Chain A
Amino acid sequence: MALSEKKKFLNWIKTHPSCEHIRKQAGNTEVIYDVEHSDPNQRIKIFDIPISQKKKSIFTKIKDNIWVPGYKLRGNSYSDTNFDQQLNQTSSIMSISGVFDMICTAPVLYYFTQAAGLLALPLSLGYGYMLLIMSNKAGEFSMNRPKGNNTTANFLLLIFFLLSMVKTLMSGVGIDLVSRAGEIKNSTAEELLIKQIPTNEDTNVLYTNLLANSKNECDRLIKEQSKLDPTKRAQRKLYNQLQENMYKSIKSPKSDPRYLLDNNLSDLGPCTRVDLIEKFNGNSSFNRNKIASAQNNLRESLSPVSFLYVFQRNQFNNLFTGNPLKGSESNFESYKKVFKDSATEFNIDCLNTKIRCDENVAWSNPAMAINEAAKQFYGRIFNKEWENLGLSYVGFLISILLSATATILLYTSSIDIKNRASRSSLVEDWRDDYFLELDEEEQTN
């Protein structure tokens, strides 16, 4: 025997999971039970129906914004189990994509908001949440695609995709900022060291040029002198004059060649200059070799950040705060003597007024950290350094795949006829007509 429409409807309420709260409400309905009443139909009377608590808590609202329920992607005029499952899959991928991007971009947003001090963490979480809501809402609204008028839906889907891609672009950088924090600092310091630390060959370029010029002049005078014959009286005077010019010198209390070359250069003859420079080079080559060797040792044993801290303190202060040698300063005491009289800067002392000596190295400008991380991350892509692919690239690829999948699923679900039916006012009318028929069926029974 075929069930009446109303019985089918009531049977659905009695069995469908979404009607659980209605069944509970009916079960908890208070009644007056009068077994003595003469009319058996009047023996049970409904006295009080509990109010259904359907208002969503703030926690549920926040949760729904992060993890969008499938039914939010359709209208309320129509649904069926298969379509709801399809929408649940779509919304799950969309939400996974959003949450994954939120987690990956959190370090970038944290660095952006670091100027806010203690508020940096809540602010960055707030920004991340806002970005997630924006892309989820764009995805949700793009599902409203009436037949023949797709412009708004297409635009919103594009916004969803672009927002996802922006977050994707930041996701790899964000993972790098966490997983390669030290490496990023060292690479930046290394780049600066390559640019700024001069090579040992260049250190005495002034004397090298001076030596070459003086040698030429001295050779020229010697050549000129060799043409003269000092045994002949007429040429002897010129010969002696040339000799005097070549080896012209001054009487100075300091016999240090460097002092004489730096302060009395014009009073020295070209051959005297040659002698002095060669003497100076002879004396200082030992010290130069010692300094170069110490510097090379430190370059090998220290990280680029620590090396920058020791040899380029101003540059270090421009980029970082903190003390990379924290607790190990005593290991470098022996090097102090080597660099004591040299022109090379060697500074292992930490001044509390300038940097935080008890803290680990941190970026002095957080925006620079993001710039450097992005530069290094995309640099490795453009330079095709596949061997250096790390966790950040895996995250980057996952983010691209999730964003693309979510966009495609949103599009395919939105063009489904069931989606249009769920938003059709006509279907809503037909559904109300059906309820009217049920009401009439009730009255006739």
Chain B
Amino acid sequence: MNNETQHTTLKFLSRHADPEHFSIVKKCREEVMYPRGKNLVRQTGYMPPHLSRKLLKRYTILEGNQGN
């Protein structure tokens, strides 16, 4: 293993990594957050406003079409 290799956390790197690596740190963070974010939405129903607007609009049209 290379001598410069080290174990650290993304939080640490987001502050102390070389600026050229910031985009990779961000990508790694998003890689962790994305699937967990999806799970959170599925489990709790919390969702971003643009998604809730879209879903509600579609559902309102559906109920209207059902004539109820």
Contacts and interface: CB of A to CB of B under 8 A. Distances in A.
A46 interface: yes
Contact of B45 (A10, A40, A422, A435): A422
Interface stretch (A14-22, A135-143, A255-263, A383-391): A14-22
B5 interface: yes
A420 B24 CA distance: 42
B1 to A, nearest CB: 8
A78 B44 CA distance: 9
Contact of B56 (A31, A41, A80): A80
B36 A52 contact: yes
A16 B10 contact: no
B47 A79 contact: yes
B11 A431 contact: no
A421 interface: yes
Interface in B3-51: 4-11, 13-14, 17-18, 20-21, 24-25, 28-34, 36-38, 40-51
Interface stretch (A68-76, A94-102, A193-201, A311-319): A68-76
Q: In the complex, which of the residues B13, B20, B33 has the most CB atoms of chain A within 10 Å of its own CB atom?
A: B33
Given A25-B32, A43-B21, A421-B55, A76 B40 contact: no
Contact of A47 (B7, B14, B38, B41): B7
Contact of A13 (B7, B10, B33): B33
B26 to A, nearest CB: 10
A76 B43 contact: yes
A33 B8 contact: yes
Interface in A207-228: none
Interface string A345-384: 0000000000000000000000000000000000000000
A12 interface: yes
Contact of B11 (A9, A28, A49): A28
Contact of A27 (B6, B10, B56, B63): B10
A77 to B, nearest CB: 6
A147 B60 CA distance: 13
A430 interface: yes
A431 B55 contact: yes
A176 B8 CA distance: 64
A22 B56 contact: no
Given A18-B46, A76-B44, A26 B68 contact: no
B28 A22 contact: no
Contact of B68 (A12, A28, A147): A147
Contacts of B48: 8-9, 11-12, 16
Interface string A387-427: 00000000000000000000000000000011011101011
Given A25-B36, A46-B28, A74 B10 contact: no
Interface residues of B, number: 50
B40 A33 contact: no
A31 B31 contact: no
Nearest to B56: A421
Nearest to A13: B37
B33 A23 contact: yes
Nearest to A6: B34
B45 to A, nearest CB: 4
For A5, A13, A427, which residue has the most chain B Cβ atoms within 10 angstroms? A13
A34 B25 contact: no
A298 B31 CA distance: 87
B2 interface: yes
A31 B55 contact: no
Contact of A49 (B32, B45, B47, B68): B32
B52 A79 contact: yes
Contact of B40 (A19, A26, A417): A19
Contacts of A52: 36
Nearest to A78: B55
A79 B63 contact: no
Interface string A310-353: 00000000000000000000000000000000000000000000
B9 to A, nearest CB: 6
15 contacts: A8-B50, A10-B33, A12-B49, A13-B37, A16-B48, A19-B33, A22-B33, A23-B33, A26-B36, A29-B28, A33-B5, A78-B47, A80-B52, A417-B59, A431-B42
Given A19-B46, A32-B7, 17 more contacts: A9-B34, A12-B48, A13-B33, A13-B34, A13-B40, A19-B40, A23-B33, A31-B13, A33-B7, A40-B24, A46-B32, A78-B52, A147-B68, A427-B58, A430-B58, A431-B51, A438-B38
Interface of B: 2, 4-11, 13-14, 17-18, 20-21, 24-25, 28-34, 36-38, 40-56, 58-60, 62-63, 68
